[in-house]
Each structure stands twice: as structure tokens, then as C-alpha cells.
Chains A and B, each alone.
Chain A
Amino acid sequence: MSDAGPGRPLAHWQHRLAERGVDRQLWLLVPALIFVVALFLYPFFYGLTLSFQPTNGGPFSDYARFFSDAYERGTIWITLRIALPAALLNVLAAVPIAYRMRGRFRGKRLVTTLLVVPITLGTVLTAQGLLNFLGPTGWFNRILLATSLVDEPVRLTHNYWGVFFSLVITGFPFAFLLVLSYLSGIDPTLERAAATLGADWRRRFTQITLPLLMPGLATTFCLTFVLAFSVFPSAVLVGNPAGETRVISLAAYQAAYEQYDYPYASAIAMIMGFVELVIIAVVLAARSRFYTGSTGGKG
């Protein structure tokens, strides 16, 4: 450091900063940063401050109002009761299918396309299809009636099950694609090694693949859960929006656009976000107990 040339200290600092990841490439992050601030941070803090400025009462009175009203409070439970099982089912159903499809085989592209098509349909089309298929006069019930398996149509729409099915149909492709990519990130030689050590396929799966896949499953669960938790269109279209599928986003919608009480709607939105964060925190805490490093696959 005895070199006192004018360029040296600057170069030295640039080097030190670069080691900590501060260099010119940071400029590449600017568009993303603007995007995050404009579309996420600003509305979030706007909503947060709004929620503490109720039309009447102290700063927390809108939160108190939500939790003191059983009808309102119940929406949390209603939403969780739909979103948690739907997310869980999506992940659990995706695992065996993705496991079977991780290798290369003839027609893989076709099968993958078929499994992923529901993403492109959108919620409204899915709801339409569900009503046609599972509704009281839909094919499903007609078949059941024709084969005399039931005496009167099974109610599968305009209630809990309608929303549940709709969430599974739209959430499964996401879960499947994610799990498939996590699985192909696990080096297939590991299972071959386990086989030469005497593990049958069941133990190869439970001892090697599953533990390595768990972190990926946790992440997948979080993503499908968040998608399911903010369920709105299907709760209205194939659910029972006045009763058992009055989900929390519906409560927020009614506060904002039926009662025009924006501060209260903001408070509900904040509560909704908080519940999601709690669930995600629990799942991620559990995730960190698994091995999360490199699994040597092709990524």
C-alpha cells in the first residue's frame, strides 16, 4: 500500500467493493428496483398507513373491528381451510407424477403439455368447466344417477368443494412444473449408488430423493399456498360467497367496493398478508431443517 499513485486508492476501493458484490453490474438491477418500488413497496406502505387511519376511532380500531366480529374473523379460518389442503394436495399429487416423469421417455412432451394446459385456461374458464362437469345437472352427476350410485345429485359446486377443485385444477400445473424441475436438479447417479448399496426403490425414494427434494417441496407448497390463499374469482363463481366460501379477499373486496371503506379494506389486506407470512415462516423454518445445498444435478 506504499504506492502513492493517484489512481491506486480508488482502484483499491473498487476492488474491495467488488469483492462484496458492489460493481457496475448493479445497474442491471435498476429496472427491477423501480418495478418493486412502484408496484409493490409504494402500494404496500400506502395501504399500511391507510389501515391506521380509520374513518372513526383510534389507529387500531379497524383491526379491532375485524377481530371482534366473528363473521369477519371467520374468513381467516374459511380461507385457510380451503387454501392449506388445496396447496398440500397439489404438492403431494405432483410428487409421484413428477417422480415417474423425471427421466426421458417417448411422449414426455405431450404428457407435460396436457398436465400444464390448465394454467392457460384461466380461472373463469375453469369455473365454467367445473359447473358443466360437476354441477347438479353436469355429466358427473348424470353418470352417477344413471348408474344408480346416488339417488339425488351430489352437490359439488357452489360450496366448499367447487372452490377446492378449482384451486387444485389451477394450482396443480404450477406445483408439477416446480417439483419436476427440483427433481431433475437431483443427480440421478445418487439413486443408482443407493441401488448398488442395497436400497430398493422405496428406500431409494424415502432415504435419498425425498430428503433432497423436501426443500423444493416446501418452496412449492408456499407458492401454491399463496396462490390459493388469495382465491377470489372461483370463490364467487363456483363457491358460496355468502357463506362457507366467504374468503378473506372477498371480505376486503366488500369493504372497499360495497361499503367504500378503504381504510378497513386496507386493514383486512394487511391481516391477510400477515397470515400468509406466518404460514410461510412456519414452512420455511421447517425447510431449513433439511439439507438445502447442492444436489449435484443438472439444475
Chain B
Amino acid sequence: MSAFSRLRLDGVSRRFGGQAALTELDLTIESGEFIALLGPSGCGKSTALNCLAGLLPLTQGSIWQDERRIDTLPPERRGFGMVFQSYALFPHLTVRANIAFGLRMRRLPREETRRRTEEAVRLVRLEDHVDKLPGQLSGGQQQRVAIARAVVFEPSLVLMDEPLSNLDAKLRLEMRTEIRRLHQSLGLTTVYVTHDQEEALSLADRLVVLREGRVQQIGSPRELHNRPANWHVADFMGYRNLWRGRVDRLDGNRATIESSGQRLLGEAVGDLRTGADTMVAVRPEDIRVDGPGETPNAMSAIIEVVEYQGRELAAEARTDTGMLLHLRTEQRIAPGDQVKLAIDPQRLLVYPADAARRTDLPASGSEAAR
């Protein structure tokens, strides 16, 4: 139960029947770290978390807490706190009794249990609700009880499974800040599961991106944001423009691409050869409107759809060669406008196209209409 300096997952795998839900997860968690497990629905995030918590036995691999192997311990002997997606508050116990549950199970002295419960209640600002039953609380309050209950016994690791997914947008932002604040004030080692890349980027020290049960990339928010390891991660991290293309020329990291009759200059990421199929990824905010005339990657396009998003506009544009572009801009544009667009070659990432089936292509208009 004591704090550890390092938690190591070694080839952790889980199969359900013949189907692999999690494959060979290797990850080392340092004490005090905030790690986000990120990935689309069904990629194995909850499976990974449940394996860590001891709620699911592994089919392969091992988990080490410093030098001690813990993957054979039942959940009650691991001492990890867990916040469930559905909160899983005990409906017959008051808020106070819910929060005190973990302390009572550890048979702490009554006085200490009371003191630490009160402290946790204050931490999540529920002083006015301690005697209510969970059913009498709002969603956000229930969420705070769930968090307080999971951290009150100062677990060596806190696991959170999409704790904010049931809340509305405003509350989600508030609770996000609250979780970050709690993490900073208590210094708890946290593994946080989410499918919301923005949430993961804003909360975590390190992100682990999963796809179909396999780790795609592990890195800092900045690394993930600026340089996704492959086009699947790019797709997930908000690179909405994904175009198929072919490598024309390679010059170190600079690649010249031919995509739907358009010549593009970009930054090669990963193993590329001349003539190879590629995927080109660009963030909507990296496409500039009315760029100066003679830059690389200049194209002219017609604005088709415009969405108002506060300070910015999100728009769809189609180039003369038929490519569909998603872009964000602060300039005033309207459907039907003829615009000049430009993309900084450093912000145009060129990935090898894996042996993907055509159906793997994101639906969001990545290829030219033919």
C-alpha cells in the first residue's frame, strides 16, 4: 500500500475469448506523474485500467511496483483508488459514509477516520451535503464524491475511467480544473482514461495513445500535439486534413508530395521512400488564408461551408484541383469566397500510408472528389 517510486507494466495483455482487447502494453509510471490513456472508443483503455486495478486478470505480462510483482494481487490488496465512469457510489450510504469507506476498510482509528473524511469533504467542497444520499446529489456533486472517496485514503495510485464523460460541457471544464488542482495539491500519481484529446492534453504530464489495443505513441502533450508518430495518432490529435499522396522527392526530412494533382512540400515523419504511398496531415489552424503569393504550398480555393466559433471561423474549402480542406481562421470569410491558402511546410506532416484498407480512411473528406 505504501507509495512507490516506480510502477512498471511489462507486456500487459488481455484477451476476451479470441479477441485481443489489449496487446503488449509496456509503460513505466513515475511517482507523482499524471498519465492520460487516450484513444478512440473500444481501443482498450478501460481494459488497461481494470487490469491495473486488479478487476481484470491479465492474460499475459506482469505489473511491478518497484521490485514487487502485483498483478497477482486482488484489487483490495493493491490499494489503488479508482473513480468509475458511472461513479459507482454506494446508494445506501451518505456522502460522508461513502467517502469514509476506504478508511473504515483500513480499520483506522475512529478519530483519524473522522478527521480525514472531513478534510476530503472540504477538499471537494461538499460540506453542505455530507448527510445526503448519493441519489440526492447533482451529477457534478456525485462526481466529486467519487473523487474524494478514491483519494481520501491516500492511495499510491489513482485510476480514473472517463470521470467527466457524463457531465455537461461547462461542468466538465470546471471539474477538469478541479482534478488538476487536486493532483497538484496532493501529488497523487494518476492514470486518467479519456477519449477527449483536449482533456488529455490539458491534464496530463504524459500521454499514452492506444489504438486497437496497441500503444501508438507515448509522449508529452507538446510532442503529441506537434508531432504525432503516425497518421492514426495525427487523426486522433486533431489533424483533420488527411490526404493520400505519393512521394515525389525526398531530401532529408523534406518531402515533396503529389496529392490529387497538387504538389506539396512537407516534413517527413517515419520511414519514407520515393514513390511510396503517403498520408499527409495538417491541422485546420495551420492553413493560412490569404498567404503571400509565392510561398510553397500555395493554393487557391473556394470556401464552401463556414461555421461560426466565437473568435474563429471553421471553414471547408475546395481547391481548384478538387481537394477538400478544413481550416480555421480569424479572418472574415463567407461561402463562395475565392481565397488564397498556404501551409507552412514544417506544419505539413508526411506519414507512410500503412497497409491500411481503404475503409480505414477517415470519413471527413480526406480525398479529392472524383
Residues in A lying within 8 Å of B, measured CB to CB: 187, 189-190, 192-200, 203, 207-208, 211-212, 290-291, 293-296
A198 lies within 8 A of B91 (CB): no
- Per-residue contact bits, chain B 41-83, to A (CB 8 Å; 1 contact, 0 not): 0000000000001110000000000000000001110111110
8 closest A-B pairs by CB: A291-B92, A198-B105, A193-B88, A197-B102, A195-B75, A196-B82, A189-B88, A199-B105
A211 lies within 8 A of B105 (CB): no
Smallest Cβ-Cβ distance to A203: which chain B residue: B105
A195 lies within 8 A of B88 (CB): no
Chain B residues with a Cβ closer than 8 Å to the other chain, count: 28
B133 lies within 8 A of A196 (CB): no
Asked whether B86 is an interface residue with its Cβ less than 8 Å from the other chain, the reply is: yes
Nearest-neighbour CB distance to chain A for B40, whole angstroms, equals 23
Smallest Cβ-Cβ distance to A204: which chain B residue: B76
The CA of A200 and the CA of B107, in the complex, are separated in Å by 13
A197 lies within 8 A of B153 (CB): yes
Asked whether B261 is an interface residue with its Cβ less than 8 Å from the other chain, the reply is: no
Of B55, B91, B92, which contacts A196 at CB under 8 A?
A: B55
The CA of A187 and the CA of B92, in the complex, are separated in Å by 13
The CA of A296 and the CA of B92, in the complex, are separated in Å by 11
The CA of A4 and the CA of B47, in the complex, are separated in Å by 63
The CA of A187 and the CA of B135, in the complex, are separated in Å by 14
A198 lies within 8 A of B133 (CB): no
Asked whether B84 is an interface residue with its Cβ less than 8 Å from the other chain, the reply is: yes
A197 lies within 8 A of B105 (CB): yes
B135 lies within 8 A of A293 (CB): yes
A196 lies within 8 A of B135 (CB): no
Instruction: Contacts A193-B82, A195-B54, A291-B92 known; list 10 others, CB within 8 Å.
Output: A187-B88, A194-B105, A196-B75, A197-B105, A197-B153, A198-B76, A199-B76, A207-B101, A293-B135, A296-B91
**B136-173 CB contacts (< 8 Å) to partner A:** 149-150, 153, 159
Nearest-neighbour CB distance to chain A for B60, whole angstroms, equals 22
Nearest-neighbour CB distance to chain B for A187, whole angstroms, equals 7
Asked whether B236 is an interface residue with its Cβ less than 8 Å from the other chain, the reply is: no
With a cutoff of 8 Å between Cβ atoms, the chain A residues found around residue B82 in the complex are 193, 196
Of A187, A194, A212, A295, which contacts B101 at CB under 8 A?
A: A194
A-B contact pairs, 21 of them (CB 8 A): A189-B86, A189-B88, A194-B101, A194-B105, A195-B54, A195-B75, A196-B54, A196-B55, A196-B76, A196-B78, A196-B82, A196-B150, A197-B105, A197-B149, A198-B76, A200-B76, A203-B105, A207-B101, A293-B91, A294-B91, A294-B135
Tell which of B54, B79, B84, B153 has the most Cβ of chain A within 10 Å. Answer: B84
The CA of A199 and the CA of B153, in the complex, are separated in Å by 13
A197 lies within 8 A of B84 (CB): no
With a cutoff of 8 Å between Cβ atoms, the chain A residues found around residue B150 in the complex are 196-197
- Per-residue contact bits, chain B 4-48, to A (CB 8 Å; 1 contact, 0 not): 000000000000000000000000000000000000000000000
With a cutoff of 8 Å between Cβ atoms, the chain B residues found around residue A207 in the complex are 101
With a cutoff of 8 Å between Cβ atoms, the chain A residues found around residue B357 in the complex are none
The CA of A198 and the CA of B53, in the complex, are separated in Å by 11
Of B55, B105, B133, which contacts A192 at CB under 8 A?
A: B55
**B74-118 CB contacts (< 8 Å) to partner A:** 74-76, 78-82, 84, 86, 88-92, 101-102, 105-106
The CA of A194 and the CA of B105, in the complex, are separated in Å by 9
B75 lies within 8 A of A192 (CB): yes
A194 lies within 8 A of B91 (CB): no
The CA of A203 and the CA of B76, in the complex, are separated in Å by 11
B84 lies within 8 A of A195 (CB): no
Nearest-neighbour CB distance to chain A for B82, whole angstroms, equals 4
B86 lies within 8 A of A212 (CB): no
The CA of A207 and the CA of B105, in the complex, are separated in Å by 10
With a cutoff of 8 Å between Cβ atoms, the chain B residues found around residue A290 in the complex are 92
Nearest-neighbour CB distance to chain B for A255, whole angstroms, equals 47
Of A194, A212, A293, A295, which contacts B133 at CB under 8 A?
A: A293
A198 lies within 8 A of B153 (CB): yes
The CA of A294 and the CA of B80, in the complex, are separated in Å by 27
A187 lies within 8 A of B55 (CB): no
Nearest-neighbour CB distance to chain A for B297, whole angstroms, equals 51
With a cutoff of 8 Å between Cβ atoms, the chain A residues found around residue B149 in the complex are 197
Nearest-neighbour CB distance to chain A for B152, whole angstroms, equals 9
The CA of A193 and the CA of B160, in the complex, are separated in Å by 12
Nearest-neighbour CB distance to chain B for A292, whole angstroms, equals 9
A296 lies within 8 A of B76 (CB): no
The CA of A189 and the CA of B88, in the complex, are separated in Å by 6
Nearest-neighbour CB distance to chain A for B56, whole angstroms, equals 10
With a cutoff of 8 Å between Cβ atoms, the chain A residues found around residue B81 in the complex are 196-197
A190 lies within 8 A of B88 (CB): yes
Nearest-neighbour CB distance to chain B for A199, whole angstroms, equals 5
A211 lies within 8 A of B92 (CB): yes
Nearest-neighbour CB distance to chain B for A58, whole angstroms, equals 51
Of B54, B84, B92, B106, which contacts A189 at CB under 8 A?
A: B84
B55 lies within 8 A of A208 (CB): no
The CA of A293 and the CA of B136, in the complex, are separated in Å by 11
Nearest-neighbour CB distance to chain A for B200, whole angstroms, equals 22
The CA of A196 and the CA of B55, in the complex, are separated in Å by 8
Instruction: Given A203-B105, A291-B133, A293-B135, answer yes or no on A198-B92 (Cβ-Cβ < 8 Å).
Output: no
With a cutoff of 8 Å between Cβ atoms, the chain A residues found around residue B54 in the complex are 195-196
Smallest Cβ-Cβ distance to A192: which chain B residue: B55
B76 lies within 8 A of A212 (CB): no
Smallest Cβ-Cβ distance to A190: which chain B residue: B88
A197 lies within 8 A of B101 (CB): yes
The CA of A242 and the CA of B102, in the complex, are separated in Å by 59
Instruction: Given A198-B102, A294-B91, answer yes or no on A193-B133 (Cβ-Cβ < 8 Å).
Output: no
With a cutoff of 8 Å between Cβ atoms, the chain A residues found around residue B84 in the complex are 189, 192-193
Tell which of A187, A198, A200, A294 has the most Cβ of chain B within 10 Å. Answer: A198
